[in-house]
Amino acid sequence: MTNPLLAPWTGPFALPPFATIRDEDFAPAFDAALAEARAAVAVIATDPQPPTFANTIEALERADGALDQVGGVFFNLAGADSNPAREALQRDLAPKLSAWSSELVMNRPLFARVEALWQRRDTLGLTAEQMRVLTLYRRMFVRAGAQVQGAPAERLTAVKSRLAVLGTQFSQNLLAEERGWFMELAEADLEGLPEFVIASAKAAAEEKGLGGHIITLNRSLIVPFLQFSPRRALRERAYEAWVARGANGNDHDNRSVAAETLALREERAALLGYPSFAAYKLETEMAKTPDAVRDLLMRVWAPARARAEADAEVLTAMMHADGINGALEAWDWRYYSEKRRVAEHDLDEAALKPYFQLDRMIDAAFDCAGRLFGLEFREIAGPFYHPNVRGWEVTRGGQHMAVFLGDYFARGSKRSGAWCSAMRSQSKLAGEVRPIVVNVCNFAKGDPTLLSYDDARTLFHEFGHALHQMLSDVTYSFISGTSVARDFVELPSQLYEHWLEVPEVLKTHARHYKTGAPMPEDMLARLLAASTYDQGFATVEYVASAMVDLAFHEGAAPVDPMARQAEVLAELGMPRAIRMRHATPQFAHVFSGDGYSSGYYSYMWSEVMDADAFEAFEEAGDVFDPATAARLEKFILSAGGSQEADDLYTAFRGRMPGVEALLRGRGLVEGV
């Protein structure tokens, strides 16, 4: 029988045939796709004709089409709906795919053809997009080691293979830790918990085949428990389990994985001629150097730490007033901060949540996309890869733009966090190919599902990434959608969060799930007034994580990453009652592959731009200003990686931004 992963997908919108794909189809499909890619590359590398852009670069664009097709399905499933068979295959694939990558970039005849084109680039009559693609292909080869020869080249291949294995191991260890821990709640332990937390705890127990109520390590469940439970001992138990993920001395301990990863990254950078892995990694980012990253982070750290320390004094006094002596602990912060928010802003999250029903927030995200970019969304039937996944066709002016899949609920088979991916990217080389875009979240499922304001921001954030994919308009998939500098990729997502704060958006979509009544005007005013509440805490926990990431990769790899983590936090003067947002053993951004290694700062680098970019709409006098939205689409959302990131931003805004808009947005400057 024909493998459904390799056969042409002829169903509606050329979606993967999820109903007929079996786990046992993936391994042979990968083998066949790899063989096809190898054969195609061999033809390119040995072509007797002189290299041209068409027979070399465009041929490379086409060479791994089947591999992209199979991988686009598999790796989405591996993250969003894992099982033992998929985890085993992922472990098996890691070294195989790494070997293929090394084989490609170490192919001397192939690189010679790319280099020959590069040397003649000004005589080839290339379009601006083609010149950019050629530049990036050559850069990819060089940075991957194409110019390294002999024993160092062999060692580089081995290092990259081992790093691929370690990244998979880190992810699977973390998933196992999160899947394995839960805390049962007795009836008395439900005291003080809002109904939405109780309902989520009951649903979590049901998912595990249990009665009663449990707290798991899913952020959308454990954070509200820490906010509302008056039982300090239970808060401590839950919090310590949360921050101990990957560091429990069992088969899933990630500390040695992190140490080996850092050592190999240092070696990889040295083999390529760089003084550190951070120098290697940041070379192609907007920041360019570790010093530039540190400068940004420290400009934000000082006011954030001062705000957090002042807040800690207030929360400590509240705790002492409750008759609890001693120091404020990390498991106390959210509880007393929630009490303070109610006291100072008359803003109770339990009262807010009924206005943030999941379906209405999806509608809000779609509505803003329609008003800004003319997009329309029509729900379509599955089957998709999981019964909880929903799908929409995205159109504009009657023209098909994309398929959007939303996978919103937490489950044991899904890794933690939220992300956007594409099962198929936009391109035009072989005719118009429109994307299949996936947003994955981990919201606690309810009936109906009610979101916190932070959850709603996450939904808008990931949808901003999705727009970057949906609106992509380039010829070559190599620069399509989110294929941009890491410290630029968060600009569309973080910028889109701002529309959730627009009063008219909230008035339209933040409606009570039972009555349909809009959020009361006074509640809306209090919500927006409290937009910078607790930003000292949020900024400190984030910047601390980014500084540890930078320190890990800037100098010699630490033998003991946990000791180095402690040193960095001590040097920063980390407030006692705040921990890193992501401690090393669960820092998936940095250790589940090297995507954000030396790059966790990227969210803040992009925030400098997103704060400034939204001010462009405000300066136009309309947050849905058509001309500003058109510039945003033209120069950022549709452009992919067709130009350097700073050139794209300058084309949109006319200049690069300073840090002031970010500080204003976080309320970290006086009078804001």
Active site amino acids: 462
Rounded Cα–Cα distance for residues 545 and 542 (Å): 5
Structure-block tokens of residue 623: 């947050």
| DSSP 8-state code for residue 557 | P
Closest CA to 613 of 603, 630, 634, 628: 628
3-state secondary structure of 216: strand
**φ, ψ at 496 (rounded to 5°):** -65, -25
Q: What DSSP string runs through 36-56?
A: HHHHHHHHHHT-SSPP-IIII
Q: Tell me which residue of 555, 554, 552, 542 sits closest to 606, measured CA to CA.
A: 542
Closest CA to 199 of 446, 513, 453: 446
* Distance, CA of 378 to CA of 393 (rounded, Å): 5
* Beta pairing, strands 390-396 & 399-409: antiparallel
Q: Residue type for 243, please?
A: V
- HSE-CB for 417 with a 13 A CA cutoff: 15
CB proximity list for 224: less than 8 A, separation 6 or greater: 194, 196, 197, 200, 349, 452
Strands (E), 76-206: 182-185
What distances in angstroms separate CA 521 from CA 326, 515, 516, one per listed residue?
40, 16, 15
What is the 8-class DSSP label of residue 520?
P
- Distance from CA of residue 571 to its chain's centroid? 28
Give φ, ψ of 318 to 5 degrees.
-65, -40
The Cα–Cα gap between 584 and 590 comes to 9
CA-based end-to-end distance of the chain? 65
Record the tokens describing residue 524, joined without a space.
Answer: 């809306």
Collect contacts of 113-122 with beta carbons under 8 A, ≥24 apart: 113/44, 113/45, 113/47, 113/51, 113/56, 114/51, 114/56, 114/57, 114/138, 114/141, 116/50, 116/51, 117/51, 117/52, 117/53, 117/56, 117/57
User: Which H or E run contains 443?
Assistant: strand 436-443
Q: Which of 279, 280, 256, 156 lies closest to 559, judged by CA? A: 256
β-partners of residue 393 are: 378, 403
- 235-248 burial by CB neighbour count: b if 16+ within 10 A, else e? beebbebbbbbbbb
CA of 249: how far to CAs of 165, 173, 177, in Å? 20, 12, 11
Which pair of structure tokens corresponds to residue 90? Answer: 């992922």
Nearest to 214 by CA among 245, 240, 193, 243: 193
Q: What is the DSSP letter of 433?
A: B
- 436-443 and 399-409 beta bridge pairing: parallel
Q: Do the beta carbons of residue 370 and residue 347 sit within 8 Å? A: no
Ramachandran bin of 544, using left for φ above 0, alpha for ψ from -120 to 50, beta for the remaining angles: alpha
Q: Is 520 left (phi over 0), alpha (psi -120 to 50) or beta?
A: beta
